[in-house]
Each structure stands twice: as C-alpha cells, then as structure tokens.
Amino acid sequence: MATKVKKEDLYTTNGQVRFERFDENVEDWTYYEKRFELTLKIEGISDGGPLEEQRRDLLLKCIGPDHFRAILDNFNDRDYESLSYQEIRGFLRQKFDKKINYLYQRYMFNKTTQNSDEKIAMFLSRLKSVSNKCQFGSSLEERLRDQFILGLGAEDIQKELFYKFSSVDVSLNEVFEVARSLEEAKENIQTMHGVSTFGNVNAVKNKGHNEKNFASREEQNQKVIDPRITCIRCGKARHSQVALCPALKEECRYCKKIGHFARVCLKAGNRVEDKKQFKSVKRIDSDDSYFFINSFQTVKNRFIENNIRGWKINVELNGLPVKMMIDSAASVSCIGYSLWKQLKKPKLRPMGDLKGYTDNPIKTLGKTQVQVNLPGKQENLPVVVTIKDDEPILGLDWMLKLGIGIQINHLTLDNDRKCSDSELSNTLKEYDTIFVENNKGVKNYKAKISFWKFLFTY
C-alpha cells in the first residue's frame, strides 16, 4: 500500500522522482500518462488534496521543454501556479489523443501477418497490440484466435492447426500453445539435422565449415567447362552440330549412362561447369535449326539492369549497396563469404550443402538474415552464405517476397519458315508451367529465348 507523503517531506520527494520526457514519436500520451500516475502512486502522491500542486509541478518538470512551453502558451493569460493538474492533463489529452477510425484499425488488424524473422510469441504480442484500437469487445479473443491462425507464416504449422482444431470453441491460448510447440519442434529438428527450411539441399549434415578452413575444402583436379565454347559430353571444343560429338552414343565408364565420357562426368566429380556464365539453365545443345521466343515484358527502371550475362538488380543488404543476379531457377538466395564479411558477419545458423542445377554440391557456411531494401520495399529475408565467392544470387524466395517476376505475353518464330498453329500450340502445352497468364512479372522489356530441337540430359 502506498504511503502518503508528509508536508515537510515534499521537497525531498520532488527531488527524488525521476521520469523521462514525453516523446510523441515513441509513445502514445495515454500510456505515458498511466506510467506517470503509477509513479506518483508509488511515491505516495495521491490524487487531490494538499499534494495536488506537487503532482502539477512534477508533470511540468518531467514532460520536457517543448511541451512545457506549449502548456504555457495555451494558458498565456495565466501563471502556471494558478493551473491545476487536471487542467494541464486535460489540455495534453486533447492535444495528443488521436481520433481513432475503428473500421480502419480493424482493416489493419485483418492485414497483420507474421514476419519471416518473427517468433510466434512475438507475432501474437504484436497482434494484441494492434487489436487494442479495434473495439472488438466480447469478441476480442475469438478475433485474435482467428487472425493468429490465418496470419501465421509457416504453412506446415498452419495446416496442423487447421487439422487439429476444427471447432470454433477452441481458445486462443490452446491454439497458441500448440503452435509454439510445433515451432520449437521444427527448430529442434532443423538443428539436429543441420538443414535449411529454404531451398533444395543435400541430405548430408553440416560438416562444421568455418571461415578459417574453407579454402582447404576446394575440389581438386576438376575440369572447369564453359558450355559456350566446350562440349559438355566429350570435353573438347564445342561442335558445330551435336551429331558430330564422338561421345553422343558412348557409355560413361563411371555412371554407365549413354551420352558422355567419364572425364567430364558430373557424378564422377571430374567436371565443374562455369556457373558464372550460366546460373539457371540445364545443359542444352543445338543444331542450326531453332525457335526464338520474343516479346516478354519485364520491369525496366533504375534499379534493374540488363547485360549479356542476365538481369541484375541493385539492392541494399543491411545498408550496403549490392548488385545481385536475378535467378528464378535458384530456390534460395545466396551470397559469398567475402560479401558476408562486408556485412559485418551476421550470425550464421547451420544448414547442409546446396545442390546446383546440375546436382553439383555447393558448400555453405550457413544461413543468416539480412535487411533487404528496394525502392518502396523493405524485407528481412534469409540468405545462404556459400564458401566460394561467386556472384550474389537473388533467387525465387526473394523474388516472391519482393514482387519480382517474369510474364511472357506471346510467341513468334524468328527464322525463315513460318510457325504453324499446331507448333505454337504444342510449345505452349509443353511448357505450360512457364506460359501461364498472371498479374505478376516484369513489364515493358523485350527479350529473346532460344529453343533447341535436341535436348540431352544425364
């Protein structure tokens, strides 16, 4: 129980009370007022009576010079000693209490979803904070429960909750406890197996890569092949026609598959393709007859640029300007060891090695979170840190989060003979996952994509 301050102790008490200035950019006046009056209660300075002047003086002392001046300017015909605590408090409430549009606050509540780096407990806490201005009344817990489930970022946890709770009678606390348990179990399993929830990774455990020993882990005696100038089947100079390759019908002595020699077999570890030139395409050879696809549209502005090696985008990672290669075939986004150091070595979490598009292993240091800034867009996103320094890759995971995509509008044939309707129709059906209508993608840029008649994979 608070002890009332005696008259003779007032000056001593006023000297002891410490309270920060009011900053409307940090805190609502309602909360500041409640904290201030709680402090007065603890100090034994109760409402009304002979201590009313001390309540007023303490408020004027603590509130800060700008607000003090605003109070005096508002009551310019009166000395502050003639003002009561209630008068000053009433003026400040009128000045800082904002009129709330409850319909808009409910709209914002329904849009509240879990951030990618946010724990479930923190998400629920933020959701409750948003609901304070919605006037849900007796339906508050039900509304919180529903939006908590709908706003979860982890689809697997969301599915489990839908499966477990089919009745509307379940409480918010029951749903929260199950969701938190699932989140903890998921994190424990990832830690045990050293794998990432993002992207395509090898089924191997993390082998303790660190920045001191990564250089010794580079593969030895591998032949680096640039498919633009070297045949990926025999390892010799690229042929003018696929049929001229001597390995075309030969069996590999290592993997026993037809179509390449053992000296360039990926599974034997004898070959590494030059990923700097081709980040996201499968091995394709051609003869002299091929189709072109042109006229797909892409965003062309000051932060996306095109060059001979593909599309690049200027972003900021933790405030550092970085140029990244856009690669929709990469399921995760990657940065190299040196760039990770430039970003001040953000904390890494363990994960397994990645697989390249030719199933070649890509050694990793781990994964981390970075703040990604684009004009009008800011996201906290996961990124994989690779041991080798290669061009930073903005993969499909970031493309979806940042709203970057591709839209193909139509096909045309770009050689001497005409394209029949059946050829066009068959091509669209064969690649139906690519040529699909949607409202996403990049616009206002023409590009040309080549199709080869002969496609060999092994």
Q: Are 322 and 316 in contact (CB under 8 A)?
A: yes
Give bridge partners of residue 272 from the DSSP assignment: 224
Does 337 share its domain with 269?
A: no
Does the pLDDT value for residue 451 go beyond 70?
Answer: no
pTM above 0.75, yes or no: no
Q: In terms of residue numbers, what domain contains 301?
A: 291-407
Does the pLDDT value for residue 388 go beyond 50?
Answer: yes
Is residue 439 in a domain?
A: no
pLDDT band, very low/low/confident/very high, at 340 (cuts 50, 70, 90):
very high
Exposed e or buried b for every residue in 140-162, given b needs 16+ CB within 10 A? eeebbbebbbebbebeebbeebe
In terms of Cα–Cα distance, which of 394, 321, 319, 384 is closest to 353? Answer: 384
Q: Mind listing the pLDDT tens digit for each residue in 108-151? A: 999 999 998 899 999 999 999 889 889 899 999 999 999 999 99
Does 295 share its domain with 378?
A: yes
Q: How far apart are CA 175 and CA 164, in angstroms?
A: 9
Between β-strands 310-317 and 364-374, what pairing exists: parallel, antiparallel or unpaired? antiparallel
Say which residue, 20 or 320, is predicted with more confidence. 320
Does 89 share its domain with 106?
A: no
Does 324 share its domain with 394?
A: yes
In terms of Cα–Cα distance, which of 392, 391, 356, 364 is closest to 200? Answer: 356
- The residue type at 266: L
Does 233 share its domain with 257?
A: yes
Does 296 share its domain with 402?
A: yes
Two tokens, residue 364? 């990793």
- The residue type at 2: A
In terms of Cα–Cα distance, which of 365, 402, 396, 364 is closest to 380? Answer: 402
Count of domains observed in the chain: 4
Return the CATH number at 176. 1.10.1200
Is residue 23 in a domain?
A: no
Q: Which of 18-32, 194-208, 403-417 has the highest mean pLDDT?
A: 18-32
- Residue 378, exposed/middle/buried by CB under 10 A (0-12, 13-18, 19+)? exposed
